[in-house]
Structures are given as structure tokens and as C-alpha cells.
Chains A and B, each alone.
Chain A
Amino acid sequence: MSEATPNLWVICAAYNEAAMIGQVVTELGRAGYQVVVVDDGSADSTGQVAAAAGAHLVSHPLNLGQGAALQTGIDYALARGAEFLVTFDADGQHRVTDVPRLIDALQRERADFALGSRFLGATHNVPRLRRWVLHAATAFTRLTTGLELTDSHNGLRAFTRQGAAAIHLRQNRMAHASEILAEIARSRRRYVEVPVAIDYTAYSLAKGQRLSDSVLILLDLFAQELTR
């Protein structure tokens, strides 16, 4: 896939992920992808581990949040001529084998955005509470953006260069996932959903969002509307 898909960059936003980031970068590197890790002001050795594993390393001088880190990674990859960009969580919950499926979908459907969905059959062990929260978030996203999606908060996504250039994230923290979808809707470019697997582990669940975070996300989205 990497030979057939020139200039594909995988972007990992990482904060205190020294335990997993080396394995994630190594697996992506073995598949032939260029990897840029944005170390978001980690207090541990995330940056050194990612660099030693072969990633391009961009280090925020302070912790800004996952949304800010993804935008930094997008800017970096676009500046290096990326034709396809993939966002990939640093906690090891995504599968490298899903990356070519996203790119295939982009090319086959002539879309600019391919969004991973854990609810299209590839993931079966979503914790119950998380499933409810995600369904509520998806309903909210459908209501506010009009996008027909089944999973609104999946970190595995692929963009064409043109699609990535249409994304301008202002939400530094958790609300960035909703903002990406709002940007996709605003761009009026074609999007497609692709079944992907999420491997829930004790580590990724501990790193994941909590129910209370959904309130903060709504407040952040509301505040952004007031300053638009």
C-alpha cells in the first residue's frame, strides 16, 4: 500500500505515551508509512522513545491538547508534501492494517475524508457505558452537522491533501473530534465511513475520555460559537 500510495503520513498526537508510542511507531514504520509524532509537552520520555523508533518528532513546548497536536501534525505533513494523511491514536488501540482500508476507501469513493467507525461491525467489545456516550455524541453530531455517521469520536481517520487543508482546528482539547466533523460538513467535500477495529485494553481505557468530559466538550463547542 505504501508504494501504491505515495507520500502517506501518519500523525500521532502523544501525551505521556512512553509506554506505547515506541510499539505504535515501529508497527507503522514496518508497514512503510512516514510517521510524525507530536509530543504534546509530555512529562515522560515520549519524544525520545518516538524518535528512537523512527518517527519524525515535533515537540510542543507545553501541553496544549490533542486537537492542537493533531493540527500541528497536519501542518507538518502538509509542509512536506503529504498526499494522504492519517490520524492514529498513540495509545495502541488502532490497528495498522486498517490504514490501507481507509486509503482504499478514499481512492475508490473519490472522497476527501475517510472516517473510521467501530460500529460498522469490526469492533465487538465496546464497553457499555462508552457505547451509550458515543451513540449520544453521534446523535448530537448528526443534529448539528448533518453528517450521516455511526461513530463521531473515532481517532482513526484519513484525509486527502485537499481535505486536510480544509481542516483548521481551534479546539485544542477533547472537542476537536466534533470540530473536525463540523469542518468536514462546512467544506462540503465527500466523506466516507470505513469499518475499523478498536482494541480496548486497560491502558487505552484509562487514557480514554470520561463521561464527565462530554459536558466540557459541549461547553467548549458553545464557547467557540460565541467567538466565531
Chain B
Amino acid sequence: MIAQVFFSALLGIVFLYAWSEYRRSPAIAVLSLVTALAGLYFVWVPDDSTRLAEFVGIGRGVDLILYTWVGISLIVILNLHLKLRIQLEMITLLARSIALAGARAPRAQASGNSTPVPDQP
């Protein structure tokens, strides 16, 4: 019973995390939601998890739950990777703005003029 409550709380947090991520990464959110719901079901109906585990060749229901947990962890890692990509895109835009603002045309360089090249329409 203690383990069931503990895992339910953890899966509940995953559920809330997935819910909050839906707008940013729908695919990740749906995957996490489905996995968390499946995990909750198997935590409270372990006989079904054992039957499913035997069906797919894992052996014990508790192993299936652990595998589910590993799956959730991998999905969360993937989501963190995607967030890092978004951060990198923002850094790229910032770096590009800085680079374009400091661009130098050949004549300006030859004369040692440090005035940036003005934009043209």
C-alpha cells in the first residue's frame, strides 16, 4: 500500500508536468500523459500489469512498472533536450543581432573606421 501511494504521487507529478508542457511540446506531453496514466493503472491493478507483463515477455508486473518509470525518465530527458534547443535558438538570434550590428564593410576596415555598416532597406 505504501509503495502504491508513493508511486501514485510520483506519477501524479509526472501527470502535472505533462499537463504543463502541453502548450510547449504537445507530442512530449501526450506521451508523458499516456505513460503516466498507464503507470497509475498498473500500480493500482497489479494483476493486470502481471498479465500484460507475461504477455509481452517481461515476467513480473513490478518489472513492467519499473520499465514504465524508465520510459517516463527518457521522455523527460528528451523534453529537456528540446528545451535546450529552444534556448540555443534564442541565443542564436541574440548572437546574430550582435554580429549584424557590428558588421564591417571593406572600406570601413581599411580606414580603421569602427562605425558599423548601416542597414539598407
Interface residues of A (CB under 8 A from B): 38, 51-52, 54-62, 64, 68, 71-72, 75-76, 79-81, 170, 172, 223-224, 226-227
Contacts and interface: CB of A to CB of B under 8 A. Distances in A.
Contacts of A52: 109
Most chain A C-beta atoms within 10 Å of own C-beta, residue among B28, B78, B99, B106: B99
Contact of A59 (B25, B92, B102, B105): B102
A122 B27 CA distance: 45
Given A79-B119, A80-B120, A172-B92, A38 B99 contact: yes
Nearest to A68: B92
Contacts of A59: 99, 102
Please report whether the interface of chain B is mostly helix, strand, loop or mixed according to DSSP: helix
Interface in B41-100: 78, 81-82, 85-86, 88-89, 91-92, 95-96, 98-100
B85 A51 contact: no
12 contacts: A54-B106, A56-B106, A57-B103, A64-B92, A72-B99, A72-B100, A76-B100, A81-B121, A223-B85, A226-B25, A226-B28, A227-B86
Given A58-B100, A76-B100, A81-B120, A227 B95 contact: no
B109 A226 contact: no
Nearest to A169: B92
Contacts of A75: 96, 100
Contacts, number: 66
B96 A68 contact: yes
B85 A227 contact: yes
A149 B105 CA distance: 36
Nearest to B117: A56
A188 B16 CA distance: 41
Contacts of A81: 120-121
Nearest to A38: B99
Given A54-B106, A226-B27, 19 more contacts: A52-B109, A55-B106, A56-B104, A56-B117, A58-B102, A58-B103, A59-B99, A64-B95, A68-B96, A71-B96, A72-B99, A72-B100, A79-B119, A81-B121, A170-B89, A172-B92, A223-B82, A223-B85, A227-B86
